[in-house]
Amino acid sequence: MPLVEVAGVSKRFGGVQAVNDVSFRVERGMIKAVIGPNGAGKTTLFNMVSGFVAPDTGTIRLDGHPIHGQPPHRVAARGVSRTFQNIRLFAQMSALENVMVGRHLRARSGFLAGMLGLGRARREDREVRTRALEVMEFLGIAALADADATRLAYGQQRAVELARALASDPELLLLDEPAAGLNMRETRDLARLITRVRARGITVLLVEHDMSLVMDICDEVLVLSYGEKIADAEARAVQQDPQVVRIYLGEEGC
């Protein structure tokens, strides 16, 4: 069974049909990209998969379980983790603390245990901290652990956000324009990173504009334009699809 099954989802905002009857699958262990010109509905689609927006119609299943319309924290509990296009790190917290929050769902102590400082709470905290540091090491940013997260350099903030998303050991990782603002070298490093993430058994769905990244690491590509699915195939095939070329470069010969 594919890890993600999106079937006939649509979303309208006022007068705009942001997403129109889109269906696709993401197989386990795959790296899939969603591409398309601005306004194509990519972010809306992402928001529907991660629970921030409920589709008007259609279903979204994760490992067979319906997740459409569920709030973000429930979707996260099912093993979905995401990053944000405009980096949403937690202010006034260190990078390590940000990543530790990513692992929130892997611990259980609540108010009472927290206030009383019970042994269980302390043990869980140690485990969370250790795992968070491991993830940061995996991404090569362990040195940033105690830095104020929102005052880091842009590229570093992106890395911290990625670490945060990975900290929960998700099944599905949603990356919203992970290469935005990165230069060529950084983008190549990011590509390496994403393949290493996949090697750990995590399925990756990403929205991206950077074609080099997409062609470099993605198995399949979903192309949207004005909310509709234009193509959904292997990366090479999509690159040569005349329809795709047209929506990106326009009708007139170039």
Partner 1 sequence: MRSHRHVQVGAFMAVAVAAQLLAVYSGKAFLLTQLTMSAYYTLAVIALSLLMGHAGQISLGHAGFFAVGGYTSAVLTTLDLSPRRNEEIVGVLARVGVLVERAELYGGQVLVVHPWVAFLCAVALSVTLAFAVGIPVMKLKGHYLAMATLGVGTIIFSVALGTTWLGAADGISGVPAFPLLRNLGVAGGASERVANYYVAFGLLALGMLLLLNLVQSRTGRALRAIHGAEDAASAMGIDVASLKLRTFVLSAALAAVAGVFLTHLNGGIGPSEASIMKSVKYVAIVAVGGMGSLWGTLGTSLALSFFSLRGWFGAFDDAVFGLILVAVMLFAPDGVLTLLPARAAASRSRRTRAAPAPEGDGGYELPVALAGQRPGEEGR
Does 70 bind partner 1 (CB under 8 A)? Our answer is: no
Does 60 bind partner 1 (CB under 8 A)? Our answer is: no
Binds partner 1 (CB under 8 A): choice among 30, 101, 147, 211: 101
Nearest-5° angle of CA 15, CA 83, CA 95?
A: 140
Binds partner 1 (CB under 8 A): choice among 105, 133, 142, 215: 105
Minimum Å gap between C-beta 88 and partner 1 is 4
Given CA atoms 118, 129, 86, 76 in this order, what sign does their dihedral have?
negative
Binds partner 1 (CB under 8 A): choice among 11, 32, 82, 131: 82
- Tokens 């990356």 belong to 175
* Bridge-based pairing state of the strands 4-13 and 228-234: unpaired
Minimum Å gap between C-beta 114 and partner 1 is 3
Q: Which one of 6-14, 20-28, 66-74, 217-225 is the stretch in contact with partner 1 (CB under 8 A)?
A: 66-74
Minimum Å gap between C-beta 121 and partner 1 is 6
Strand, coil or helix: 72: helix
Does 90 bind partner 1 (CB under 8 A)? Our answer is: yes
Nearest to partner 1 of 180, 233 (CB atom): 180
Q: Which one of 20-28, 77-85, 208-216, 241-249 is the stretch in contact with partner 1 (CB under 8 A)?
A: 77-85
Nearest to partner 1 of 10, 70 (CB atom): 70
Contacts of residue 136, defined as CB under 8 A and 6 or more positions apart, other chains included, come to: 95, 96, 99, 142, 144, 145, 160, 163
d(C-alpha 149, C-alpha 164), whole Å: 11
d(C-alpha 220, C-alpha 202), whole Å: 15
List alpha helices for the chain, DSSP H. 42-50, 72-77, 95-102, 111-116, 119-138, 154-166, 184-199, 211-217, 235-240, 242-249
Residues near partner 1 (CB under 8 A): 50-52, 71-73, 76-77, 81-82, 84, 86-93, 97-98, 100-102, 104-105, 107, 109-111, 113-117, 121-122, 124-125, 128, 150-151, 157, 164, 168
